Amino acid sequence: MGKKCKQVSAFSLEGRFLSFELEDGYKIKRLNLATAEGEVCIKLSKEARASVRGVLTPGDWIWVFGEQYLDPELEAVRYKAFLIKQAAPGQTPALAAQPPAAAPVATPAKPVATILVCQKSDCQKRGGKAVCQRLQQELSDRGLTDQVVVKGVGCMKDCKAGPNLVVMPSKARYSRINASEIPALLDAHLPTPAPTPATEVLSRS
């Protein structure tokens, strides 16, 4: 038998934000929403993840727009969000009157920097997970989540000097980096309030 066609349709859901589901301990992957019909788990698109990181707190009332389809194997509806708007209970955003798939989605600004973080076990044991979490928190606090990409990568060698990370495009490498040093690192490469690409390669002893 051939595969069944996946019937995709637009959806809009109103409810109370409960929590995020994370991948690798720090990457936002899904959103849990309490609606009038019950709790719903919604996968987030790249644009949606960037728009909610550091913005939502449990209990916030939101509208979620995206696409849904029926998974024939699990006989369950799957959701993927492309746009999330904060709202008050009973408030109807203008977008709710339009097909969500046609709603305009802002094009994310081109990242000015990418931070590569080693995900191998040696670096993780030496504090790599805490470094990733601090990076995400600091970028959120500075409003830079749509301008800086934090990307987990494979072994960068020199495992005994972990955690290791590299800031692109300057290619500045940091070894034995501690989570407490992240604010100073970002200050050096991404000064606020007007972050610009780093032009100098910073060296550390």
Helix (H, G, I), strand (E, B) or coil at 156: coil
pLDDT in tens, 112-124: 788 888 878 777 7
Q: What is the pLDDT of residue 43?
A: 93
Name all domains of the chain by residue range, CATH numbers in brackets: 8-102 (2.40.50.140), 113-189 (3.40.30.10)
Percent of the chain past pLDDT 90, that is, above it, reads: 8
Average pLDDT over residues 66-95: 77
134-143 per-position pLDDT tens digit: 888 888 888 8
Task: Give me the helices (H) in the chain, please.
Answer: 46-52, 121-123, 129-141, 182-189
Mean pLDDT of 78-105: 65
For the whole prediction, is pTM greater than 0.85?
no
